[in-house]
């Protein structure tokens, strides 16, 4: 992989209405889950993956809610062995 950099987009939504933020993100994750490669990855990662991702799955994949939820997501991704990280507002 010489010459390539791996970057993870960290999906975040700083909001006082976490439920609404999750609904926006649920649509995005469902769209990815409809693509074969992403679906295989999501099925392997989450036993309960379905066409309508649960709140737990959304919370694992991103940071939605108050400042603490966003910081927690950033810290989880920061701890992962990925070269670059980019915040991706929902």
* pLDDT tier for residue 85 given thresholds of 50, 70 and 90: low
pLDDT at 57: 95
Cα–Cα distance, 11 to 60 (Å, whole number): 10
Cα end-to-end span (Å), the chain? 29
Cα radius of gyration rounded to whole Å, the chain: 13
Q: How do residues 34-47 score in pLDDT, each as one tens digit?
A: 999 999 999 999 99
Taking all residues of the chain, what is their mean pLDDT, rounded to a whole number?
89
Q: If we measure between CA atoms, which residue out of 5, 8, 33 comes closest to residue 85?
A: 8
pLDDT at 80: 79
- What would the mean pLDDT of 11-24 be, rounded to a whole number? 96
- What would the mean pLDDT of 10-14 be, rounded to a whole number? 93
Helix (H) / strand (E) containing 15: none
């Amino acid at each position: 992989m010489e010459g390539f950099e791996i970057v993870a987009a960290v999906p975040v939504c700083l909001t006082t209405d976490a439920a609404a933020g999750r609904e926006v993100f649920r649509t995005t994750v469902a769209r990815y889950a409809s693509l074969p490669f992403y679906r295989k990855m999501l099925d392997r990662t989450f036993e309960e993956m379905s066409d309508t991702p649960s709140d737990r799955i959304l919370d694992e994949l991103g940071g939605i809610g108050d400042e603490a939820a966003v910081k927690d997501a950033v810290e989880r991704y920061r701890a992962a062995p990925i070269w670059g990280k980019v915040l991706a507002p929902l």
